[in-house]
Each structure stands twice: as structure tokens, then as C-alpha cells.
Amino acid sequence: MIYCGIDWAERTHDVALVDDKGELLAKRRITDDAAGYRILLDLLAEYGDTEDTPIPVAIETSRGLLVAVLRQSQRQIFAINPMAVARYRDRHSVSRKKSDPGDALVLANILRTDMAMHRPLPNDTDLARAVAVLARAQQDATWNRQQMANQLRSLLREYYPAAVDAFATWQNGLCRPEARELLKLAPTPAKAARLNRTQIQAALKRASRKRRIESDAERIRQVFRADWAHQPPLVEGALGQQMLALLGQLEAACTAADNLAKAVEEAFPQHPDAEVILSFPGLGVQLGARVMAEIGDDHTRFADARGLKAYAGASPITRASGKKSSITRRRVKNDRLNHAGYLWAFAAPNGSPGAKAHYRRRRDEHGDWHAAALRNLFNRMLGQLYHCLQEHELFDEQTAFPVPLAAAA
């Protein structure tokens, strides 16, 4: 067996090949371009790399063009965590020395000694990987939008509390197009106090508002004309300019989140597993796409449901030493999948009587706190999702949460 380790960087990559005895067969530094990728593939072919028996590769990342080139065949690619590589490095040298060619050699030796202890990259389809890109980008855009809205709200509280109060009754507040139109029309409280009903109604109509225009316009007008504290005029004008700059960033973040959400709605339903995922209560298109983005569609990725639950951080972890033992929640996990699981478990009881009963039982009989009860519900429904994806079956309420015989009687 030949094993390959690659220490990647921005412009160059160090490659090392070792045999099953640990002897260094070849080392090479390649550039991060098409020419460098061809040199790498020729080097692997020189040492026996074929389509039937590809040489496994260890690298510290799972993304990028280099990984995409290596994934074009049936090659096993192991994305090793850099923290794990640092621990393996200490096995070969106690002087704490580090070099890029040395790290490539360490990565190759990781496969030689402990390849069975590491999981290769899943063999997902191109459609699943495309959905993963869109779902993660939409999630990042949503977080960025909320961050910009929080910054804008913090600035408005310094000089424009009337705007915060006027938009507080709307869901998503400052992220709504009506709020953004009004802030562009009146960036300072002095200008807002001079707005009349017609101007406010026109701003609401420009934001595509169809109902309750007159009542909301009157309410906003009264809030703007109430008695509020003010900054000095020059300071207020400067803060208004700063607010408009933040408003432009928020507008771009809202547009990006909306466009990516539409792209997810177009791509995700095309996947064969979408029907199974969307059959579960609490999973819509956006949240279901986030779940599939982290799970993938390679059904051999996890040996059983326990592996998936541990990967998502839904199952607890036991720490035992001597007479002491403790059971706590997992902190090393896939944070994106864990966040999606919290939202899933939060929404599932609204569409599933069995999920609602399970949550109440965890709260009342076991004494779990809200987050712990949701995590337990996520753990159970994740196991059900694993089974349904393996068998390509839709969610069934009676099978997932069977009614006890005593209650049925």
C-alpha cells in the first residue's frame, strides 16, 4: 500500500508518499494551479495509482479546487482535523519542530497507522453538494442579516429611539422593507417628525405593503411626532449619515438572503431525498435543505444512527474515570446541523402530537430544561430520519410515536 499526505497552503502544496513500512518514497512541492494538479496526478500514477486501486490521500481540508480534482475518481480522501495532526506530530518529534514537508509526511503516516480510525469524505452527488453550498450560504446570509440589524438597532437607540419603537410591533423589525423605506425617507428624528400621512403611506406602498396601510401610517406618524430626547443637530445629522451607510449594508444582506432562499427552493426539491425529509414535521424547504447539506446523500457515510446522532451533537457523552462518571451534552459536533436540529425540534411539536407528548414527558417526568428536552426530541427524530433515508420511507406519525396500549384503551 502507498499512502499520500498533502499539506495545503494558499499558493503551494507539499506532497509526501510513504509505503506500508513508513519509508518516504517521494516528496514534491506543487503549485496551486492546473499545472500543479497535473504534476500531483502524474506523481500518484508513477507509484501505482489507478482507477481500480487509487492511492488514499490525507489533507487538512475538505474544500477547494485541489480536493475537487482528487475527488473526480473513486479515491478515498481523508480530511484530518488540524488539531489531530498536531497530536500526531508529537509522536514523531518532541522538539516541537514544524515544517510543511514534515506535516505532509505526518499526514501520510496517519493513514498508514490509523486509517481505520478516520472517516473519508462522503461520496455525495453533485446535486447534494450544490444544495449544501446554497443552504450554507443562505444560513450565513441570514446570520449576517441579523448581525447588521442588531448593529443598526444599537445605532438607532443612540439618537433615533422613535424608529425602534415604531418598528417594534413588526416581525423581523428593521429587516422588513417597510422599515428600510421609512429610514431612507427620514434618516433623522427631525425629518421623521415632519412626515405626513401621505408620505408615510407612499413609503409603505413602495415596500409592497397591501393591507393596513392607513392604520399603520397613522400609528407611525404619532410615534414620530411624540416627545423624544434629541442629539444636537450637527451630531444628529452625522449619525443619520452613519445610519444610511449601515442601512445600505442591511439592504444588501436582506437581498442576498432572499435570493439564496429562492435558489434553495429551486434546487432542494429536485433531490430524491427531499420528499423524505420534507415529510417530517417541523422541516420546511429551508430547514430541510440545511439538514441535508450536513448529512449528505451518501447513505453509507454513517454505520448506524448512533454515528449520525453523535455527529449532530444530539446524543450525550459519558466521561468516566475511576469512581467518577458524568453524562453531559456534546461540545465537539457539527454546529450547523446542531443549530438546524434545535429549530427542527422547536417546530416539530406544532405538527406532531407524538413529538409534543415526547417533549412534555421530558419536561414533566424527567425534569429536563427546555433546551435539554428539545435536544432529546432532536435525538429521537434524527434516528427516525436516518431510518427513513436508508429505506426511503416517508414519516409516519403512528410508527414514529406509537400510542401506548393503556392510553389507547
User: Is the CB of residue 19 less than 8 Å from the CB of residue 2?
Assistant: yes
- pTM listed for this prediction: 0.86
Strands (E) located in 316-384: 317-321, 324-328
Q: What is the pLDDT of residue 408?
A: 52
Measured CA angle at 72 (ends 337, 61), to 5 deg: 45
Type of residue at 21 = K
Q: What is the pLDDT of residue 240?
A: 95
Q: What is the pLDDT of residue 328?
A: 85
User: Is the CB of residue 324 less than 8 Å from the CB of residue 333?
Assistant: no
State the virtual CA torsion across 255, 259, 265, 268 in degrees, nearest 10. Answer: -120
Termini Cα distance of the chain: 63
Q: Low-confidence residues of the chain, pLDDT below 50?
A: 409
Q: What is the pLDDT of residue 252?
A: 95
- Identify the residue whose cell numbers are 448506524: 304
Measured CA angle at 375 (ends 374, 377), to 5 deg: 65
d(CA 192, CA 186): 5
CATH topology of domain 2-117: Nucleotidyltransferase; domain 5 (3.30.420)
Residues in the chain: 409
Q: What is the pLDDT of residue 395?
A: 95
Best CA proximity match to 30, nearest among 21, 20, 22, 40: 40
144-201 per-position pLDDT tens digit: 999 999 999 999 999 999 999 999 888 888 999 999 999 999 999 999 999 999 999 9
Domain ranges of the chain: 2-117, 130-266, 275-408
267-313 per-position pLDDT tens digit: 999 999 999 999 999 999 999 999 999 999 999 999 899 999 999 99
With a CB cutoff of 8 Å and minimum separation 6, the contacts of 192 are 160, 162, 163, 182, 186, 224
Best CA proximity match to 341, nearest among 302, 300, 384: 384
